[in-house]
Amino acid sequence: MDFDEFCQYDPLFDVAHFTAHLRFLGLTHFGTLHHFDGLAERFLAAYEAGGGEYSEERLSLYKAIAYFKLGRFVALVQRPAEWMQILPELLSEARRLVWTKDVTPLHAGGVD
């Protein structure tokens, strides 16, 4: 369910969505996710300077979700000729965003 369509969701979702799409354009038009990183960084800096609520953890999660959704779109809907090169890049970035965060286990002990 996408509550953002009703303006009832976290504004950081829109920030993540925009930056993920910007990087997606870099990948599909210039062959690299990083082509527009400078623009994405300026956008994020302007958002933060504007006083918007900011959480790196939520932003990373929302970007990972956006990359996964873009991967689904590329593989199942759009299906460009180079989709098999694009999809792994998107999924790899989503995975990197999720797995590079400091995750504290809920239960560090053994099973009794």
Question: In the chain, where are the structural domains located?
Answer: 8-98
C-beta separation of 68 from 90 below 8 A: yes
Q: What is the pLDDT of residue 4?
A: 53
C-beta separation of 48 from 54 below 8 A: yes
Q: Does 111 have pLDDT greater than 60?
A: no
Has this prediction a pTM greater than 0.85?
no
* 59: CB partners within 8 A, 6+ apart: 12, 15, 16
C-beta separation of 23 from 32 below 8 A: no
Distance CA 44, CA 47 (A): 5
Q: What is the pLDDT of residue 57?
A: 92
78 secondary structure, DSSP code: I
**For the ranges 8-12, 22-26, 55-59, 76-80, which has the lowest average pLDDT?**
8-12
C-beta separation of 86 from 74 below 8 A: yes
